[in-house]
Amino acid sequence: MENTSNYPPIEKVSIIVSHGSLEGVYPGLIMANGARMAGIEANLFFTFFGMEAIVNKKMDKLKVATVGNPAMHIPTILGSIPGMSAFATSMMKKEIEKIDIPPVREFLTMIHDAGCNIYACKATVDMFHLTKSDFCDEVDDIISVGQFYEVSAGANIIFT
């Protein structure tokens, strides 16, 4: 894609994923995929609850947050009704599938195969008592924040 703006082209992005809900994970994955498709170097750094997206036992069970999510446009009391999150998750997954965006596990594989580096935050791994074996195969490494800044040198850092 030709750069027609007055700004220099973006050559590298590092995307921090800190939310573990379905609507919290997909923006980072979509941005990383878009970067790789445009030939931009990309890193994904999962921290705190964003780690849910790369933990084998949890990544296929991400849900839409219905409580405390003003974008749902429903009162908190309705969002807390049993089954509401499952219903919203089901609806969102159907819409995601309609526009040909793969499930999280498949999307991570696709992005990683396209050359995106995927990292887990060491402090969060330690805090949640996780090990490398808890993660999907696409996780390249468990790194500290300092190491994240090193691999991000020269990158635009995006926090989702």
- pLDDT tens-digit readout, 94-151: 888 888 899 999 999 999 999 999 999 999 999 999 999 999 999 999 999 999 999 9
CA end-to-end span of the chain: 24
In this prediction, residue 76 carries a pLDDT of 61
Do 31 and 44 contact (CB within 8 A), yes or no?
A: no
> Which residue's structure tokens are 């696709």?
110
Distance CA 149, CA 35 (A): 19
Contacts of residue 68, defined as CB under 8 A and 6 or more positions apart, other chains included, come to: 76, 79
Q: What is the maximum alpha-carbon separation in the chain?
A: 51
Give me the CATH topology for the region 12-159. Hypothetical Protein Ychn; Chain: A, (3.40.1260)
Could you tell me the pTM of the whole model? 0.86
In this prediction, residue 136 carries a pLDDT of 98
Distance CA 134, CA 91 (A): 29
pLDDT digits over 7-65, tens only?
888 999 999 999 998 889 999 999 999 999 999 999 999 999 999 999 999 999 998 87
